[in-house]
């Protein structure tokens, strides 16, 4: 990667599916995210299901495993990261209206139960992806791609000179 990494850390807390964890490796690689943090029951390399969907991205994306998500969240907060829970529940701000405070840590929770209360309490903001259909949520790996690329878009806009300049 020739450009500096996107100032975004993605944290997965208690993700049940190894395939979802592997898909996040691919997304982090594609968007150029700074790091992927795998916490709780979230699978991590060298587990075969992760490698199957990561397709080698587990070797190119910086990652760490932590038993307790609160540990890396405290470290990131001390380093000035805005901690954003990606959640469907109110109160939350629409992803497209959110003005992130860089650097950012986007936190994703369990496919069924979402984020636990302690992790939610450690977050600065709750961000939701707008849902216009009958369903109220996306697969967590799909949501990760949507959020990562919206953050990449916002970061690029922030770095571009104004039109006509």
Give residues with Cβ within 8 angstroms of 145, minimum separation 6.
Answer: 23, 27
Percent of the chain with pLDDT over 70: 95
Rounded Cα–Cα distance for residues 79 and 98 (Å):
21
Cis peptide before 91 (omega within 30 of 0): yes
pLDDT band at 163 (very low <50, low <70, confident <90, very high): low
CATH topology of domain 6-159: Alpha/beta knot (3.40.1280)
Inter-residue contact 104 to 69 (CB < 8 Å): no
Rounded Cα–Cα distance for residues 76 and 73 (Å):
5
To the nearest 10°, the Cα dihedral for 62, 67, 73, 79? -50
Cis peptide before 103 (omega within 30 of 0): yes
Rounded Cα–Cα distance for residues 157 and 161 (Å):
8
Q: How far is CA 79 from CA 55, 72, 148, in A?
A: 31, 11, 20
Q: What is the DSSP letter of 137?
A: -
Which pLDDT tens digit goes with each residue over 56-90? 899 999 999 999 999 999 999 999 999 999 998 78
How many CA atoms lie less than 13 Å away from 127 in the CB half-sphere?
28
pLDDT at 147: 98
Average per-residue pLDDT for the chain: 93
Which pLDDT tens digit goes with each residue over 98-123? 999 999 999 999 999 999 999 999 99
Is the confidence at residue 164, as pLDDT, over 70? Answer: no
């Amino acid at each position: 990667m020739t450009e500096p990494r996107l100032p975004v850390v993605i944290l997965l807390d208690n993700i049940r599916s190894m395939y979802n964890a592997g898909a996040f490796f691919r997304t982090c690689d594609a968007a150029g995210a700074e790091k992927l943090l795998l916490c709780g029951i979230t699978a991590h390399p060298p587990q075969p299901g992760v490698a199957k969907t990561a397709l080698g991205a587990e070797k190119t994306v910086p990652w760490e495993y932590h038993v307790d998500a609160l540990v890396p969240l405290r470290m990131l907060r001390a380093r000035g990261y805005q901690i954003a829970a990606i959640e469907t529940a109110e109160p939350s701000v629409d992803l497209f209206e959110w003005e992130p405070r860089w650097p950012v840590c986007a936190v994703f929770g369990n496919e069924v139960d979402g984020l636990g209360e302690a992790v939610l309490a450690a977050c600065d903001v709750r961000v939701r992806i707008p849902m216009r259909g009958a369903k109220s949520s996306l697969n967590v790996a799909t949501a990760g791609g949507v959020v990562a690329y919206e953050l990449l878009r916002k970061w690029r806009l922030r770095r571009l000179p104004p039109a006509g300049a």
